[in-house]
Amino acid sequence: GAGVSQTPSNKVTEKGKYVELRCDPISGHTALYWYRQSLGQGPEFLIYFQGTGAADDSGLPNDRFFAVRPEGSVSTLKIQRTERGDSAVYLCASSSQGGNGYTFGSGTRLTVV
Amino acid sequence: GIQVEQSPPDLILQEGANSTLRCNFSDSVNNLQWFHQNPWGQLINLFYIPSGTKQNGRLSATTVATERYSLLYISSSQTTDSGVYFCAVPPGGYNKLIFGAGTRLAVHP
């Protein structure tokens, strides 16, 4: 597509539930990133994919968070047993060369109640 | 890890004014990016600028890598320039970016 697409744009879930957030990167972009942005702060790195593999998952806060990119295109961020502290905007970005010229999606606003 | 500090944290301008935003970083980096986040939350890449100066319309950026800072210049500001400006750098050759806390800019007509 023309840009990075993230769905859903908003997600409200109850504490303890499981959620999946989807990212569809720009066609042909091999690098894909997930970031999390809390109110009033800059984005914080979660995980980086080069192709199908997670090249760097050092930003995932704990084992409740997991992400996949099985075919090297669409990625899904999965959060188990959600907590109120997981509430944030989850941003996805892609680039044609690792680390340069990011294009961000519009984000998914996750609210855990 | 690498620290990224941006100043000022908040800035209010009258339309037509010029401004300079600063980004300091604590370690050597091989690239630096400036982003604008509009009031609707969309992050737009403004510049990829590991060193030197680049210009794009009313915006320009300069990075002095040896002194570990970058400047973003906004000339003849417009209300559409409002939002948050972030700089971001990759730590130690990694592909991920570390973002500063941002400068929140409000341009009034």
A-interface mutation test, from B25, B95, B103, B104, most A Cβ less than 10 A away: B95
**CA distance to partner chain A, nearest, from residue B79 (Å):** 20
Instruction: Say which residue the tokens 């957030």 belong to.
Output: A21
Asked whether the beta carbons of residue B99 and residue A44 sit closer than 8 angstroms, the reply is: yes
Residue A101's pLDDT band, with cuts at 50, 70 and 90, is: confident
pLDDT of residue B92: 73
Please state, in angstroms and rounded to a whole number, the distance separating the CA atoms of residues B39 and B66. Answer: 34
Q: Which of A42, A48, A100 sits opposite B99 (nearest CB)?
A: A42
User: Does A76 reach chain B within 8 Å, measured CB to CB?
Assistant: no
Q: Which of A102, A12, A27, A112 is nearest to B99 (CA)?
A: A102
pLDDT of residue A100: 63
Please state, in angstroms and rounded to a whole number, the distance separating the CA atoms of residues B24 and B6. Answer: 6
Contacts of B97 in chain A (CB under 8 A): 33, 43, 45, 99, 102
3-state secondary structure of A18: coil
Contacts of B103 in chain A (CB under 8 A): none
**CA distance to partner chain A, nearest, from residue B21 (Å):** 16
pLDDT digits (tens, 9 = 90+) for A3-42: 999 999 999 999 999 999 999 999 989 999 999 999 999 9
Mean pLDDT of B66-80: 97
pLDDT digits (tens, 9 = 90+) for B10-42: 999 999 999 999 999 999 888 899 999 999 899
Q: Which two tokens stand for residue A104?
A: 């961000």
pLDDT above 90: residue B76: yes
Please state, in angstroms and rounded to a whole number, the distance separating the CA atoms of residues B61 and B46. Answer: 9
Mean pLDDT of B80-93: 91
Please state, in angstroms and rounded to a whole number, the distance separating the CA atoms of residues A32 and A26. Answer: 9
Contacts of B86 in chain A (CB under 8 A): 42-43
Please state, in angstroms and rounded to a whole number, the distance separating the CA atoms of residues A3 and A104. Answer: 8
pLDDT above 80: residue A1: no
B-interface mutation test, from A6, A97, A104, A106, most B Cβ less than 10 A away: A104
Percent of chain B with pLDDT over 90: 84
Residue B66's pLDDT band, with cuts at 50, 70 and 90, is: very high
Please state, in angstroms and rounded to a whole number, the distance separating the CA atoms of residues B65 and A112. Answer: 41
pLDDT digits (tens, 9 = 90+) for A74-99: 999 999 999 999 999 999 999 886 55
pLDDT above 80: residue B71: yes
- CB-CB contact of A56 with A49 (8 Å): no
Mean pLDDT of B71-79: 98
CA distances from A41 to A7, A95, B85 (A): 22, 23, 11
Identify the weakest region by mean pLDDT among A1-5, A53-57, A61-65, A92-96.
Answer: A1-5
Please state, in angstroms and rounded to a whole number, the distance separating the CA atoms of residues A31 and A54. Answer: 10
Residue B93's pLDDT band, with cuts at 50, 70 and 90, is: low
pLDDT above 70: residue A64: yes
B-interface mutation test, from A44, A96, A100, most B Cβ less than 10 A away: A100
pLDDT above 80: residue B43: yes
Please state, in angstroms and rounded to a whole number, the distance separating the CA atoms of residues A88 and A111. Answer: 7
pLDDT of residue B47: 94
- Taking CA–CA distances from A98, the nearest residue in chain B reads B95
